[in-house]
Amino acid sequence: MPPMLRSFAFVMPCVLWLFLMREFVFGLIPVNMDTNTIYGVTKFYFNNVLNGVIPLWEPFISLGRPFYAIAICNLFNPVALLVPLLKLAGMNYDHAFVAYMVFYFFIGCAGFYFLAKEILKDRLMAYLAYLGLMFSSLGASMFTQMTFLEMVVPAIWFFFFLLRFSRRQDQGNFLGLTFTVMVLISSYLPFYFMTVLLCFLLVFIFLYFKEAKKFCINKYNFVIKNWRLFVLCVIGILLAAAPLLAYKILDASGDVVAPGRHCQYSSAQECYDRTMGRQGGMAYDEITRSGTLGERLDMQYLFGNLDKISYGSDSFFFLPVWVYIVLGLSVFLQLTRLTVLLSIMAVFMGLIASGNASGFHGFLYRHIFFFAYFRNLFFLGAFLIPIVILLSVYQFQMLLRITIKDNSAKKGIIFGVTVLCLILFWFLKHFEAVPVISYVTLGTFAIASIVYYSGIVRFSHKIWAGIFAVLLILQPAWILHAYALNAKEFATVLPSMHVKPTFSWVRPQKPAVSSSRIYQFVHYEDFWYDMSMTDAPPKVGYPQSTTRWTFDLSEHTPEDVLANYAQYKIILYDDSNPVGIPVKGPSDELAVNYFDVNTLNLHADFSKPQTVVYNDSYTTSWKAYLDGVPVVLLRANEAFKGIKVPAGEHDIEFSYHPPGGSWVYITATVALFIFLLWAVFMLYWGL
């Protein structure tokens, strides 16, 4: 195929996908659910980076808390740098964020093409796999659950490089493998991927023992021969893991608690005890009481009601009906090791993701330590999409390769296809509100298959692949169109302008009201304040993460009392006034010299000694300075920061220095960027 035509074949599906998703892509429908959170985090991070500060603290939410989400939102991935670059080019943050997501998704689809090509050794089949992934729910769900992309895209590339490395032990493939591991570690909790890898290794070693043994020997020889490269790769992986380790150190220090993990569906006392208990990991019921695959996915909605999928849920799981048709037609094909590998992996993933609905997860929780450190098991469902697509395309390849020896065999196959398609039709009829387009796809698929096997029309393989590619896209295109229509009612505007944060002396008493239905569903408004970098009302609630003392205070203080007190950010105390005087704005006595999310610098000119209480959460990582000299930071009024200031003119500074500081994030970003460039050079130029 000429290069122009080949490029056209790859670009056209992207264009069609962009057209179907145009209202999301062009920002008319805002990102929702967890993607809304990730957008808030990404905007907060890069907005501050462009202001010259790596944000480590969120002063606007929960009376101030560590910026815990910095380690789990793919911020150090070189592709994420598109956001600040596009911002500098004049684009708003929301458009830049969507552009980055979509680009990342297309990178994932391209990786899937290469992976399928490596496995199936057939460009046309790999192209069908590429289309299958693009028109599955993986792409459309990025607007509500970008975590799927964060986990699946690097995992696809990981398996691609793993396969390539198993066939050819060169430095390019090893670097590619290292880079994908770095991305996996730095983008989100790596435990989901570790689960997938564990399943894969278990099944692979069982099925391909000789190959696994050979791979280990080759890998060992490669490491011995290239030990310098190996050491550098280990260093790279450690640098990429540093942000997550920094958060783990902070978590272990006891300064931070995570009520969000413990308080869903539990009594206030139970929530308090579990949160303050600081036990590592989560109890089994905390992991499985919500977020399992059984909770999010119903077999009914794999086939029926597909035109009614709501944008208000992050449980959009959808595979083109083409996939099910092929799997249905493949029942009489020869069973192969690859079929067993892929299908058993899919079943294992499904069982683990089912949580307490199957005994499998409980067994793993009891015997493997990392299963106590992640919930939302339905995220594993995202890995099912590429696995099942790959399985179906492989079956399709085998279906096309059936050799017809004589006329009776031909008749037999045509009869078999007809009967199986009728059974599939009967199967679909059992579901409620199956869209007509699914039946149309099934009918057309049956006709095309009969024509193919009958040999009436003799097209080339490329033309047949083209025909089946159109059938693959037909139904999903219609469903994605319906999904976009349903999402229109969520239209709203998210904060997207660049902000220089300013210090406000008083917090608002009422939340910033948004009429958007996005915020009527779940309590994600926290991140609205991060996006706009304005103060939230002075309350804590049950956030995902907050400081220990602030959570404790909020649990023992009536909400209105805390709100009345903490609405003022600065309160002054002296010997004659133990009740304290709230500061309502700048004055000759106290003014702001400098403010960013990690630092507050005040200029004071008191007539008598004062204790300045800054009603922003205290942690042991905060430091206080008086005229540039470190002084004792007080934990004032249970949960906040205080400093004793003598009479006269002084500069007071509160600044946040968590373990590793900014350097953890800078080095992780630089390391990922260097390893990407290095891997690309080695792969394409063999330098």
Nearer to another protein, 125 or 351 (CB): 351
- One of 51, 310, 444, 534 touching another protein (CB under 8 A): 310
Piece of the chain touching another protein by CB under 8 A; list 22-30, 133-141, 267-275, 336-344: 336-344
| 330 makes contact with another protein (CB under 8 A) | yes
Q: In what order do the strands lie in the sheet with 570-574?
A: 577-583, 570-574, 610-617, 640-645, 634-636
| 400 makes contact with another protein (CB under 8 A) | no
- Rounded CA separation 506/426 (Å): 65
| 662 makes contact with another protein (CB under 8 A) | no
Sign of CA dihedral 319, 518, 103, 184: negative
| 343 makes contact with another protein (CB under 8 A) | yes
- One of 107, 344, 448, 634 touching another protein (CB under 8 A): 344
CB of 24 to another protein, least distance (A): 19
| 492 makes contact with another protein (CB under 8 A) | no
| 313 makes contact with another protein (CB under 8 A) | yes
- One of 74, 395, 598, 637 touching another protein (CB under 8 A): 395
CB of 635 to another protein, least distance (A): 36
| 430 makes contact with another protein (CB under 8 A) | no
- Which own/partner pairs from 93-97 qualify as long-range (CB within 8 Å, at least 24 positions apart)? 93/39, 93/42, 93/43, 93/46, 93/47, 93/496, 93/497, 93/498, 93/531, 94/27, 94/30, 94/31, 94/39, 94/43, 94/494, 94/496, 95/26, 95/27, 95/496, 97/31, 97/39, 97/42, 97/43
- One of 51, 166, 171, 290 touching another protein (CB under 8 A): 290
| 408 makes contact with another protein (CB under 8 A) | no
- Rounded CA separation 609/318 (Å): 66
| 401 makes contact with another protein (CB under 8 A) | no
CB of 517 to another protein, least distance (A): 8
| 347 makes contact with another protein (CB under 8 A) | yes
Nearer to another protein, 366 or 657 (CB): 366
Beta bridge partners of 651: 603
- One of 101, 351, 434, 566 touching another protein (CB under 8 A): 351
Distance from chain centroid for Cα 192: 11
Piece of the chain touching another protein by CB under 8 A; list 70-78, 196-204, 339-347, 641-649: 339-347
Residue 44 CB neighbours (<10 A): 29
- One of 168, 213, 225, 308 touching another protein (CB under 8 A): 308
Distances in whole angstroms, Cα of residue 357 to Cα of each of 79, 98, 361, 683: 38, 36, 9, 45
Distance from chain centroid for Cα 511: 27
Asked whether 91 and 99 are in contact (CB, 8 A), the reply is yes
Nearer to another protein, 298 or 638 (CB): 298
- Rounded CA separation 439/431 (Å): 12
Site string for another protein, 116-145 (x = CB under 8 A): ------------------------------
DSSP state of 335: P
Q: Parallel, antiparallel, or unpaired: how do β-strands 622-626 and 629-631 relate? A: antiparallel
| 340 makes contact with another protein (CB under 8 A) | yes
CB of 359 to another protein, least distance (A): 7
| 362 makes contact with another protein (CB under 8 A) | no
Nearest residue to 182 via CA among 325, 334, 76, 301: 76
Nearer to another protein, 362 or 659 (CB): 362
CB of 36 to another protein, least distance (A): 14
CA geometry: angle 381, 201, 214, nearest 5 deg: 145
- One of 51, 169, 226, 339 touching another protein (CB under 8 A): 339
Piece of the chain touching another protein by CB under 8 A; list 81-89, 108-116, 295-303, 562-570: 295-303
- One of 5, 335, 456, 513 touching another protein (CB under 8 A): 335
Distances in whole angstroms, Cα of residue 140 to Cα of each of 50, 379, 534: 30, 15, 31
- One of 118, 170, 295, 651 touching another protein (CB under 8 A): 295
| 544 makes contact with another protein (CB under 8 A) | no
Within residues 431-470, the interface with another protein by CB under 8 A covers 432
Determine if residue 648 is left, alpha or beta; phi over 0 gives left, psi from -120 to 50 gives alpha, anything else beta. left
DSSP state of 62: T
Nearer to another protein, 253 or 339 (CB): 339
Piece of the chain touching another protein by CB under 8 A; list 62-70, 109-117, 154-162, 350-358: 350-358
CB of 416 to another protein, least distance (A): 12
Nearer to another protein, 300 or 509 (CB): 300
- Spatial neighbors of 606 by CB under 8 A, at least 6 apart, are 572, 589, 590, 645, 646, 647, 648, 650
| 354 makes contact with another protein (CB under 8 A) | yes
Q: Quick one: tokens of 290?
A: 């919500």
Asked whether 307 and 475 are in contact (CB, 8 A), the reply is no
Asked whether 275 and 266 are in contact (CB, 8 A), the reply is no
- One of 12, 202, 249, 331 touching another protein (CB under 8 A): 331
CB of 313 to another protein, least distance (A): 6
| 207 makes contact with another protein (CB under 8 A) | no
| 30 makes contact with another protein (CB under 8 A) | no
Residue 630 half-sphere exposure toward CB, CA atoms < 13 A: 5
Piece of the chain touching another protein by CB under 8 A; list 23-31, 130-138, 268-276, 304-312: 304-312
Asked whether 445 and 292 are in contact (CB, 8 A), the reply is no
The amino acid that residue 312 corresponds to is: G
DSSP 336-396: -HHHHHHHHHHHHHHHHHTGGGSHHHHHHHHH-GGGGS---GGGGHHHHHHHHHHHHHHHH
Q: Three-class SS of residue 162? A: helix
Piece of the chain touching another protein by CB under 8 A; list 114-122, 126-134, 303-311, 614-622: 303-311
# residues contacting another protein (CB under 8 A): 40
CB of 337 to another protein, least distance (A): 11
Q: Which residues bind another protein (CB under 8 A)?
A: 290, 292, 294-296, 298, 300-301, 305, 308-310, 312-313, 327, 330-335, 339-340, 343-344, 347, 350-351, 354, 356-360, 395, 432, 517, 520-522
